[in-house]
Structure 1
Amino acid sequence: PPNARWVLVSGADEFIQHGDTPEIPLSTQEYDGGVLHPAGYPAIADFTLRGQRPIWRFDSDSGSIEKTIWMERGRSRTFVRYTNLSENLVRFRVRPFVTLRWFHALRRGADPSFEALQTGPGSLSVRADGNAPCVHLGGSGWRLELCLDWYWNFHRRVERARGFDFAEDAFAPADFVAEVRPGHGVTLQLVADELQSASDVDASLARFDARSVSLVASAADPLEQRLRLAADQTLVHRGPALPGFTPEPNTVIAGYPWFGDWGRDTLISLPGLCLETGRASTAKTILLNYAQAIDQGMVPNRWPDAGDEPEYHAFDSALWFTHALAAYVRATDDTEVLDVLGTALLEIIDWHIRGTRHGIHMDPDDGLLTGGEDGLQLTWMDAKFEDWVVTPRRGKPVEINALWYAGLKFAEEAFARIGWRDAFDTDILSLIEDSFATRFWNPETGGLFDVVDGPDGSDPAIRPNQVIALAVAGDLFSPQQRASVLAQARNSLLTPVGLRSLAPGDPAYCAHYGGGPRERDGAYHQGPVWSWLLGMFIQASLKVGAPADELRGLREAMLAHLSDGVVGAVSELFQPEPPFGPEGAPAQAWGAAEWLRGLRLLRAANGR
């Protein structure tokens, strides 16, 4: 990832057998009409996450079986190990379902180009016409029983709930059969390069577990340990991997399973994913890579899933770049990077002052940034369905201008450190300081306008963007204003797992997130809780002087969520009303990142 992501194998039917007794299913598949076959779920006795490795235990009258899955870092290799914990010989039968599909699509219909080739007593390869890689299945200890069947109408209930195609077909080339003695195991390999020897598989598992241990070695807090592991899974390498080398991360997957390589998400996530986990060198690599792609003072917001041309359609990606760069320099005191990235920083400032794409430019009267065009959604509240831009936020958004001011303050500090005198007109800072609170303060609500100077004037909607502004540029407001903004957020937006995107009581507020694409896009930023905003709320609260004890409950809520949804991951969204069920992408980068950063801020406030 992030590019060329394929679903080569979508699942498997799994059975065990003791002697002459009937087979016991371990797996469960759902088919059209709600048919469950086989129904192996009653055999699941336990599930745990050991580091980054999921482990299931299945119990039957004849004993227990353990199953675990891991992937080889930097390689397209997945391993599924089955261990016999019983006192008798167990026969395993596994029938994989091969799809060879693009990760945004489903496989439909028998493809006559699918070809299965047996490559050994316990191995085969499946290939098909098109761009999908060939998949190799099997390994030591297995024997093959060819079947070459197609299975029809797997029911993908999450896709159905989201209003997408939800029926899928898959090719079942063979059964993999193994007899396993008590206390022993057998590993099914699903790989895109070549099958590994048994000793290499064992070494892969040892490396996988050792790496998980190393990632949390310096963290005593169980919550921090789990968040570090969640964060690690989102740091990936963009570009070709050299044979024989494990590629190092140079970007971020915004969220699994659907999202890609997005500039805004990467740069918001960078401080938490990298600086909170001791990976400053990775942060530097990401910043240097993004700096090379700056164009007209803008940072790409989306790297396509295929192809080389990035897309520049975000008001804030370049501002989050300056925010991430400031966090990196302040955390590492690496002034040498400024000799390289100072030019990029100056390019961002110059283009935003004089004007860049999408009408983005500085208003010389107040020093604030304004921008927007019909049909575009340029801020992080970027939902759009067909021609409907749900939250256009044209004009001068509050968090955009807080980031603009904070970036200029950092640039003033950075350029002074490397001796760049008069690199830009620092009088802009005074202009913003004189205008910001005056322009954005809304005395009727005791909060901040979400946008000023929009097509319809100022927008009084109570949104979390004012909390972002408070977190990154709180000095622009009086102590009384800061306290009032925070109280409004606490009363209207705060939940145990993040901030609502819009306050209840607003005519546009959506109390439920769900349905098809139109319904979900229409609600996306109109109420649902966003996990990443929790870090901003913690930062803003502590800046205002709120006692850390008042925030103690947030830590317990974070820990509880990591056992909900996708275990060990931070969800993108939550329902806006209790019990705040997880929604959206089940493993989101900036959620894990900002929870990590917020946790560190809480510990610092408590003197630990």
Structure 2
Amino acid sequence: MDYLKFDKAQLVNTEYSLKKEYIRTNRAGSFASSTIINCNTRKYHGLLICPIENFLGENYVLLSSLDETIVQHDSPFNLGIHKFPGEYSPKGHKYVREYNMDPTPSITYRVGGVVLKKESLLVEKEQRVLVRYTLLEANSPTMLRLQPFLAFRNIHSLTKANMDANTRSESVDHGIKICMYPGFPYLHMQTSNTSEFVHVPDWYYDVEYKEEKKRGYECHEDLFVPGYFEMEFKKGEAIVFSAGTKEADSKKLLKQFTKELNKRVRQDSFDHCLENSALQFFSKNGRGTGIINGFPWFSLSERNTYLSLPGLALARGDEKMFLEVFKTSFSKICDRFSPDSAINGRRYSVDVPLWSFWCLQKYVESGADKTKLWKNYGEKLKQILLYYKNGSNLPIIMKDNGMLWIERKGVTWMNIQKNGEFVNRRMGYVVEINALWYNAICFTLEMANESGDKHFISEWDKVPELLKQSFLETFWEEDKGYLSDYVDETHKSWAIRPNQLFAVSLPYSCLSAIQKKAVLDVIEKDLVTRRGLRTLSPNHHEYIGVYNGDEEKRKQAFHYGSVFPWLFGHYAEAYLKLHKSGGESTIRRFLYGFEETLSEHGLGTISEIFDGNPPHQPNEATSYALSVAEIIRVNKMLNKSPLK
């Protein structure tokens, strides 16, 4: 494939181009996102979106967009594009000739004899976006105007014209600074060369976000434009526009752009795109290192941190990053399970701590020193197991049969609510929770045995066998040939769901080889697609094969048929364990089938979910940490070496 490159015919077709979105991030927590023709279709799109410490570190859109206008012979040609009710204005996409994501988003315009290239990137460790303009061709004197559209609002909300906004700007080196509301930092907008800022303050009303409208959300907002920068532009010249929360040295902007560009990972192959995408999820701040769950609207999630960390770090050979993230996240869990913790565990997802055991297992598989690992984490692991056993601060308790019993809905990964009620019942004995529980106990006993922790061994060594027997009695029926999803006081769910997969893929399993094969056969028949695994069999009467409609309809579809790419990682692991080298060709075929998704939705990355029905259209978050992580992990399973 021609990697992440689009031509004029594709770009001028808004039905095509507005479905292609890019995401760029930096290590300071900022990101930029839009469509490939720079028409924002979501409230989550913007040229500079960054965390604001004064507002609990949540993300805020400061600079929504930047319109360029080429002026020749006193005739202006506006290259921008915005959607308003019933129309696009201006229609700058008609001048677009090429879009390329490698190594950074760039777009080339042609206006008569003028050819202009625009490239943008985020500075690695600053809340700053840099946009470089290069005048490739010009047959007469040319002027460049840059018109910034400001939002100054939370990514989950929209702004309206109001009397409280401070619309006054102040001069800085080669530019201006403005702070529209108390608590925000100033936004410094500067150019690398001498420019004139023309004050023409105005609100642009009813900018419409197509994707928000489609999703049934409020979709109109008003953006403030303080004026425009105007400067002479000569053929062969490059000009850099900077927008950041601190003032920049305008004389260094051109060199800074080049320096930052040289740091970028190329996006010229499947592996390089995955590597680039993986790096975008890591975020460092004063509280430690974490993994952003996805873009453009997610923040950090403990469950997804443990599920994605082996793929995003270990499968890339980055042990240092693995430890930084694990230590940050695990300390939070340990705080919840400390004797002095006053947290309301009833609101806590019960599978999260159990995934931390699996995460450490993957670290051991990569070659970690078990003795050192036990010394650093052994006491905390034992403490977590005791809290499950005693039911302390959690809506879950270990029964006399060794199994974990969940006392309320909404505490597993299938926790979507519709009209205030959880869509999935999933209480009582839940299959993946008890598979994780068995795996966690066995792993801790393995570590304790190697470290000679006789006290722990004597207390827990009889539990696995009891738990294994109870697990099979509860979830397995020979005539069914697969595992039930959950069992409560009145109901045993035989809906075919992917949760049973973990009883096969986890390092320690209650199932025999014959039972594992039977489960995988059912999963392959009903759930496996070319984009991952469905969350429910199409043969089930509640199956929903297309993810669309208003918010409540989408919530219903989320776990009732939608395809999750991250589940493919666990399917591949289970399949390869069972079939060994004989299964590699099958998994490899699935793996490289994901290559075409890199240009479908979020460019160079993988979406959160896909429709259950063919052709499996992508949906929800355009870039999802777990999706990317598990595809990288499958690549490592097959190629036996870290992604580079």
TM-fit CA distance, 1:131 = 2.7
Aligned to 2:189: 137
Q: For structure 1, list consecutive stretches of 5 or more residues without a partner in the other structure.
A: 241-248, 300-307
Matched position secondary structure for 1:114: coil
Report Cα offsets for 1:421-446 as digits up to 9, x if no partner. Answer: 23241211111232323322244442
2:485 is the counterpart of 1:487:
no
Aligned AA for 2:384?
I
Over the aligned positions, Cα root-mean-square deviation in angstroms equals 2.4
Aligned to 2:224: 171
TM-score (norm 2): 0.85
Change (3 A) 1:445 1:536: same
Say which of 591, 594, 598 aligns to 2:630.
Answer: 594
**Does the aligned pair in 1 maintain the 2:569–2:630 contact within 8 Å?**
yes
Change (3 A) 1:360 1:212: same
2:340 is the counterpart of 1:288:
no
Aligned to 1:357: 393
Aligned AA for 1:60?
V
Aligned AA for 1:356?
S
- Larger CA deviation: 314-323 vs 231-240: 231-240
Aligned to 2:157: 105
Matched position secondary structure for 2:599: coil
- Larger CA deviation: 573-582 vs 414-423: 414-423
Report Cα offsets for 1:287-309 as digits up to 9, x if no partner. Answer: 2222322258659xxxxxxxx99
Aligned to 1:305: none
Report Cα offsets for 1:48-68 as digits up to 9, x if no partner. Answer: 2224x2111223331422111
Q: For structure 2, list consecutive stretches of 5 or more residues without a partner in the other structure.
A: 1-28, 30-50, 52-56
**What is the 5 A alignment of 1:102-251?**
102-120=154-172, 122-141=174-193, 142-212=195-265, 222-239=269-286, 250-251=289-290
**Does the aligned pair in 1 maintain the 2:388–2:394 contact within 8 Å?**
no
Q: How far apart are the structure 1 equivalents of 2:634 and 2:274?
A: 11
Aligned AA for 1:321?
S
TM-fit CA distance, 1:535 = 0.8
Aligned AA for 1:283?
F
TM-fit CA distance, 1:348 = 0.9
Q: How far apart are the structure 2 equivalents of 1:309 and 1:223?
A: 44
**Does the aligned pair in 2 maintain the 1:297–1:347 contact within 8 Å?**
no
Q: How far apart are the structure 1 equivalents of 2:272 and 2:403?
A: 41
Report Cα offsets for 1:258-277 as digits up to 9, x if no partner. Answer: 11111101110110111112
TM-fit CA distance, 1:120 = 3.8
Q: How far apart are the structure 1 equivalents of 2:575 and 2:127?
A: 43
Change (3 A) 1:298 1:492: farther
Change (3 A) 1:198 1:121: closer
2:140 is the counterpart of 1:81:
no
Q: How far apart are the structure 2 equivalents of 1:564 and 1:522?
A: 24
Aligned to 2:94: 42
Aligned AA for 1:540?
A
**Does the aligned pair in 2 maintain the 1:70–1:205 contact within 8 Å?**
no
Aligned to 2:464: 429
**What is the 5 A alignment of 1:484-563?**
484-545=518-579, 547-563=583-599
2:512 is the counterpart of 1:478:
yes
TM-fit CA distance, 1:494 = 1.1
Report Cα offsets for 1:314-370 as digits up to 9, x if no partner. Answer: 0111011111122123314234243121121111111111113343111221x2212
**What is the 5 A alignment of 1:267-278?**
267-278=306-317
TM-fit CA distance, 1:21 = 6.5
> Aligned pair count?
577
TM-fit CA distance, 1:5 = 1.3
Q: How far apart are the structure 2 equivalents of 1:67 and 1:309?
A: 51
TM-score (norm 1): 0.90
Report Cα offsets for 1:19-47 as digits up to 9, x if no partner. Answer: 31733332210012x31001111222222
Matched position secondary structure for 2:536: coil
Change (3 A) 1:162 1:223: same
Report Cα offsets for 1:213-240 as digits up to 9, x if no partner. Answer: 6xx9xxxx93222111111111112436
Aligned to 1:253: 292
TM-fit CA distance, 1:210 = 2.2
Change (3 A) 1:437 1:124: same
Matched position secondary structure for 1:168: strand
Aligned AA for 2:413?
W
Matched position secondary structure for 1:378: coil
Q: How far apart are the structure 2 equivalents of 1:465 and 1:604?
A: 27
- Larger CA deviation: 436-445 vs 258-267: 436-445
Change (3 A) 1:462 1:90: farther
2:367 is the counterpart of 1:324:
no
Matched position secondary structure for 1:116: coil
Matched position secondary structure for 2:265: helix
2:92 is the counterpart of 1:59:
no
Change (3 A) 1:176 1:224: same
Aligned to 1:441: 476
TM-fit CA distance, 1:211 = 4.6
Aligned AA for 1:224?
D
TM-fit CA distance, 1:462 = 0.6
TM-fit CA distance, 1:372 = 3.1
- Larger CA deviation: 395-404 vs 342-351: 395-404
Change (3 A) 1:338 1:73: farther
Q: How far apart are the structure 1 equivalents of 2:156 and 2:182?
A: 15
Change (3 A) 1:444 1:95: farther
TM-fit CA distance, 1:310 = 11
2:435 is the counterpart of 1:420:
no
Change (3 A) 1:193 1:106: same
Identity percentage of aligned residues: 27
